Amino acid sequence: MNAQYKVIFMGTPDFAVPTLQALHRAGYRLPLVVTQPDRPKGRGRKTVPTPIKAAATELGLSVAQPMSLRTADFVARLQALEPDFFVVAAMGQILSQALLDIPQMGPINVHASLLPKYRGAAPIQWALINGEQETGITTMLMNAGMDTGDILLTARTDITAEDTAQTLHDRLSIIGAELLIETLDGLISNRLSPIPQDDKLATKAPMLKKADGRIDWNRSASALDCFIRGMTPWPGAFTFMGDRRLKIFAARPAPLPEEAAPGTVVSRFTGELRIATGDQALSILELQEASGKRLPVRDYLIGKKVAAGTVLR
């Protein structure tokens, strides 16, 4: 049954791969997969395919990588395919109204938050940074706004004290794939009624930059724990010890045994690096210097002596 429906898929990063694979397994016709152009990556700046291009190639699907989705030629190319649906998952480009009007049954977006909360490019990170207890996936009918379309279905998941942006990303990518198939089934069978978003409840999740990862030790220990987990693995939470840049991968709130200014290393505990914050202390669990390896704090302290009273900034 699904083979009679044509879906143009649009996505770029790892998050979108399970959704593309789910569409293929479900038997939908996929005449074209659209993704961002390949870009240099890593220290060697070698050009590598996007995760979606790699996945689509493995599935034997045709791939397009336009610099812009808005050119008349590209719009005409998609119109000629006469798709029933667009499915968009973390594409990284805004679709014009001309594109949104193409699919006969609608353009569907898979978004990694419980809309209208966390509209934008980094919903997973911001949900963690802000200490949310749960998040999820929303499928919606796209419009010309930024994640403002009518809601089709949602699926929820708890955020645990151990979750990082990576673990939450991986879990939500699977949930999103499952919810997308359920959404298409519901639309095809006319069982879904789109629900407008309440704009008064909307919050934003803007794209993060590397500089956003700098730790402000004046914040509370619990807030910094959430911040570090939300910044891991990218853009990464960091601080400076003198001229040494330290990337912090994991930490936990801990009692502050003595009065100290935020950012100060407090009296040494065996194999532990405890830093004063705006209220308690933060015990660092994993860290890395700019030119070093990612290490458990106990191993780091074997080679690096950090005196009590040292101030991180």
Residues 121-132: tens digit of each pLDDT: 999 999 999 999
Q: Do both 222 and 177 map to the same domain? A: no
Tell me: cis bond preceding 116? Omega within 30 of 0 counts.
yes
Strands 46-48 and 63-64: unpaired
pLDDT, position 39: 87
Q: Do both 271 and 175 map to the same domain? A: no
| Secondary structure letter of residue 26 according to DSSP | T
Q: Do both 215 and 195 map to the same domain? A: no
To 10 degrees, what angle do helices 17-25 and 165-188 make? 30
Nearest in space to 91 (alpha carbons), one of 11, 192, 204: 11
Handedness of CA 283, 168, 233, 288 (dihedral sign): positive
Q: Do both 179 and 219 map to the same domain? A: no
> 287 and 272 in contact (C-beta within 8 Å)?
no
Q: Rounded distance, CA 160 to CA 289, Å?
A: 27
Q: Do both 219 and 184 map to the same domain? A: no
Q: Do both 192 and 86 map to the same domain? A: yes
Q: Rounded distance, CA 126 to CA 119, Å?
A: 10
Q: Checking phi first, is residue 211 left (phi over 0); if not, alpha (psi -120 to 50) or beta?
A: alpha
The encoded tokens of residue 299 equal 């191993």
Residue 12 lies in a domain: yes
pLDDT, position 157: 98
Residue 111 lies in a domain: yes
Q: What is the CATH number of the domain that holds 120?
A: 3.40.50.170
What confidence tier does 45 reach under pLDDT thresholds 50, 70, 90?
confident
Nearest in space to 237 (alpha carbons), one of 204, 213, 263: 213
pLDDT at 152 over 80: yes
Q: Do both 124 and 264 map to the same domain? A: no
Tell me: cis bond preceding 233? Omega within 30 of 0 counts.
yes
Of 171, 201, 231, the residue that ends a domain is 201
Look up the pTM and report it.
0.95
Q: Rounded distance, CA 123 to CA 305, Å?
A: 38
Residue 310 lies in a domain: no
pLDDT, position 240: 97
Residue 219 lies in a domain: yes
- List residues bridging with 252 in a β-sheet: 283
Q: Rounded distance, CA 279 to CA 294, Å?
A: 27
Q: What is the CATH number of the domain that holds 287?
A: 3.10.25.10
Of 146, 180, 201, the residue that ends a domain is 201
Residues 192-227: tens digit of each pLDDT: 999 999 999 999 999 999 999 999 999 999 999 999
Of 177, 201, 225, the residue that ends a domain is 201
HEC profile of 145-156:
CCCCCCEEEEEE
Q: Residues 270-285: what's their mean pLDDT? A: 94
Residue 308 lies in a domain: no
Nearest in space to 92 (alpha carbons), one of 176, 193, 15: 15
Q: Do both 60 and 21 map to the same domain? A: yes
What confidence tier does 158 reach under pLDDT thresholds 50, 70, 90?
very high
Question: Can you list the alpha helix ranges (DSSP code H) found in the chain?
Answer: 17-25, 51-58, 72-81, 97-100, 123-129, 165-188, 221-231, 297-303
Q: Rounded distance, CA 85 to CA 7, Å?
A: 5
Residue 64 lies in a domain: yes
pLDDT, position 232: 98
> 151 and 138 in contact (C-beta within 8 Å)?
yes
Residue 254 lies in a domain: yes
Q: Do both 299 and 236 map to the same domain? A: yes
Residue 312 lies in a domain: no
Q: Do both 189 and 79 map to the same domain? A: yes
Q: Do both 184 and 43 map to the same domain? A: yes
Q: What's the domain count of the chain?
A: 2
Domain that holds residue 244: 210-303
Q: Do both 196 and 81 map to the same domain? A: yes
Q: Residues 9-26: what's their mean pLDDT? A: 98
